[in-house]
Structure 1
Amino acid sequence: MKLSTDRANPFVRFLLSFWAPTARSMRGWAMASVVVNAGIAVTGAGVRVTGSGLGCPTWPKCTPDSFLPVPHPEVSMINMFVEFGNRLLTFLVLAVGAACVLAVLRLAPRRRSLLWLALLQPAGIVVQALWGGLVVNTMLNPFTVGMHFLISTGLIAACWMLYARSGEGDGPARRVVHRDVRRVAYVLLAAVFVLLVAGVVVSGTGPHSGDVMASRFDLDIEAVARLHADVVYIVVGLTFALLLALHVSNAPRAARRAALGLFAVELAQGVIGYTQYFLAVPALLVLVHVLGSTLVWIATLRVVTSLRTRTPEPVPAAGHSPAEAAAAV
């Protein structure tokens, strides 16, 4: 396939971004994968809070006799379109994942570390799609719904690592802070994941099940909400301790900014969480809270990857990327 080198054409630039990738365009596609995977996690919550979880009551078809939304006596067309729209977003996420894989394969010199991270995306999206079918077939069982979100967090982590690694070399990892500071960051990462799990339990116990036919966890909502709040305090405390340690040890600016950004997101998320609690959990604030949870997770991953760096490996003099070859024409 021969492409014009007229980079003033936006369409040509778009094609070259993954067919003749540079380090910058590779990183751009990796960030796009972070955004779309985070986005579909949030829109999935939107399906639930609008009561559209069974808008398409079957899977993979929307209705027993059609892949597309058609009038159904037991389902609102609005709910059907909301659920079907979320299913369509899977193809966008898959397309971005495929672009990442293609960009990695076309990148020269080939970087095996990036290839495995890129391949995780289409594989994970297929798993997510199949799990979505299980969610529908189990009538929105809170366990399957919660796992659907947690699988998304795993995909987001893989996408973020692709983004971080595409901006580094493939040399040995070198920490830029004291090892004890990095240990605190890893404990913080684990605590944030526990926080996400606790949030899933709260969501599976409270209102907004996605459909009147959906089941709920047989737990006391007050007790699980308090447990969730306790984990929040631990996460915020660890973040403040990490921020203080980075400041005292004169850590690189990027690390300090990442920790400060995480702390700010956590405070905003706390305000949203308490507001929705005192307002009896309105649907819109639940959706904003899910967005906040996703941002907290991404910000935590950013903190962890900011605490180490990798130097580039020597590149053979004869090695040229497809982008450089195209630019030379």
Structure 2
Amino acid sequence: MKLPTDHPNPLVRRLLSFWAPTTGTMRGWALASVVVNAGIAVTGAGVRVTESGLGCPTWPRCTPDSFVPVAHPETDMLNMLVEFGNRLLTFLVLAVGVACVIVALRLTPRRRSLVLLAWLQPAGVLAQALWGGLVVSTMLNPFTVGMHFLISTGLIAACWMLYARAGEGDGPVRRVTHRDIRRLGHALLAAVFVLLVVGVAVSGTGPHSGDERASRFDLDIEAVARLHADVVYIVVGLTFALLFALHVSHAERPARRAALVLLAVELGQGAIGYTQYFLAVPAALVLLHVLGSTLVWIAALRVVTSLRTREPLPDHSPTGVPAAV
């Protein structure tokens, strides 16, 4: 019997690889989930900077009487199409998340840790969809909009952990660096998350609210922008410290490379941020800044997971063949 994964077209084989998965398949779908979740975070910012946040003024319908865009007296059709297009991307993210679940369930031997991480993805996407309804019903309140982005960062973290764990065993954690260096990596990741939270506050205080009817945080934009810059200096300083510690301790190359990539992404993001500030926050640079934020987060997650590994569980079967469960 010919399997779907025997299809002569390599693209079709890759798309159907979840049916007869390998460890490489699991990692591939997990990485695809990282990409689509990061992508929808950026397109969400695109909705905001094009003033299309209320392009579909109701939820789950686009208009009170239609699930798809139709002429509406209070909404420009282009804004409606932009917002509706972003809603449609949710189904792509959900499809990739479901594929990860199928791969984790069909992987032999089945690994409980991967199954649990995989289930976080469709569950998180559904939670995001419901939260999106709250964003619309609150007329783009900056708190609900900001939480929408932060929930995406949580989903990205779950996707990255699935990718990292798929390449490891299920044995105890083994450090590949000194304990204090690993703690420094955790402190760096926490600082990056704080940076994202402060960035959300800046975004909710400044321009590009998503719609002229949307409210803003009642904060001093200069003060929150300076706070954001201060946290940036802390993050970059911690990254320098980690990179130096990894170098002098002769840490394994993947860990040093991950820290170096993070530093490069941070410097690029800093250049975008300062350019954005001096040019009065043009819309195109807002998109680049959100993209940079997601890349900094992913790079920081990569650093932390490069500082440890897990060995395969020991085989306790008398013949050396894994015992049946």
Q: For 1:214 and 1:42, how far apart are their aligned partners in 2? A: 20
Amino acid paired to 1:97 = G
Contact 1:6/1:12 (CA < 8 Å) preserved in 2? Answer: no
SS at match of 1:169: coil
Does residue 1:301 correspond to 2:305, yes or no?
A: no
Say if 1:8 and 1:187 are closer, same or farther in 2 by CA, change over 3 A. same
Say if 1:178 and 1:5 are closer, same or farther in 2 by CA, change over 3 A. closer
Q: For 2:2 and 2:136, how far apart are their aligned partners in 1? A: 44
Instruction: Provide the residue aligned with 1:287 in structure 2.
Output: 287
Contact 1:142/1:217 (CA < 8 Å) preserved in 2? Answer: yes
Amino acid paired to 1:180 = D
The Cα shift of 1:318 comes to 6.1
Say if 1:269 and 1:12 are closer, same or farther in 2 by CA, change over 3 A. closer
CA deviation map 1:234-258 (0-9, x unaligned): 0000000000000000000000000
Instruction: Provide the residue aligned with 2:183 in structure 1.
Output: 183
Contact 1:109/1:319 (CA < 8 Å) preserved in 2? Answer: no
The Cα shift of 1:312 comes to 1.5
Say if 1:2 and 1:116 are closer, same or farther in 2 by CA, change over 3 A. farther
Instruction: Provide the residue aligned with 2:43 in structure 1.
Output: 43
Q: How does 1:9-20 map to 2 (within 5 A)?
A: 9-10=9-10, 13-14=13-14, 16-20=16-20
SS at match of 1:212: coil
Instruction: Provide the residue aligned with 1:72 in structure 2.
Output: 72
Say if 1:5 and 1:184 are closer, same or farther in 2 by CA, change over 3 A. closer
CA deviation map 1:268-297 (0-9, x unaligned): 000000000000000000110000000000
Q: For 2:11 and 2:299, how far apart are their aligned partners in 1? A: 32
SS at match of 1:244: helix
Contact 1:17/1:26 (CA < 8 Å) preserved in 2? Answer: no
Instruction: Provide the residue aligned with 1:211 in structure 2.
Output: 211
SS at match of 1:174: strand
Structure 1 stretches (4+) deviating beyond 4 angstroms?
Answer: none
CA deviation map 1:118-155 (0-9, x unaligned): 00001100100000000000000000000000000000
The Cα shift of 1:15 comes to 5.2
The Cα shift of 1:4 comes to 4.8
What are structure 2's unaligned runs of at least 5 residues? none
Matched pairs, number: 320
CA deviation map 1:195-226 (0-9, x unaligned): 00000000000000000000000000000000
Q: For 1:288 and 1:241, how far apart are their aligned partners in 2? A: 27
Q: For 1:256 and 1:15, how far apart are their aligned partners in 2? A: 33
Q: For 2:15 and 2:213, how far apart are their aligned partners in 1? A: 46
Q: For 1:215 and 1:35, how far apart are their aligned partners in 2? A: 31
CA deviation map 1:292-326 (0-9, x unaligned): 00000000000000000111124673689xxxxxx
The Cα shift of 1:11 comes to 5.8
Say if 1:3 and 1:12 are closer, same or farther in 2 by CA, change over 3 A. farther
Relative to the length of structure 1, the TM-score reads: 0.95
Q: How does 1:21-60 map to 2 (within 5 A)?
A: 21-60=21-60
SS at match of 2:180: helix
Amino acid paired to 2:308 = R
Say if 1:105 and 1:2 are closer, same or farther in 2 by CA, change over 3 A. farther
Amino acid paired to 1:238 = L
Q: For 1:300 and 1:177, how far apart are their aligned partners in 2? A: 16
The Cα shift of 1:74 comes to 1.0
Instruction: Provide the residue aligned with 1:317 in structure 2.
Output: 321
Does residue 1:254 correspond to 2:254, yes or no?
A: yes
Say if 1:202 and 1:5 are closer, same or farther in 2 by CA, change over 3 A. closer
Say if 1:305 and 1:47 are closer, same or farther in 2 by CA, change over 3 A. same
Higher relative contact order (CA 8 A, sep 6+): 1
Q: For 2:63 and 2:122, how far apart are their aligned partners in 1? A: 26
What percentage of aligned pairs have identical amino acids? Answer: 81
Say if 1:144 and 1:17 are closer, same or farther in 2 by CA, change over 3 A. same
Instruction: Provide the residue aligned with 1:197 in structure 2.
Output: 197
Contact 2:55/2:76 (CA < 8 Å) preserved in 1? Answer: yes
SS at match of 1:69: coil
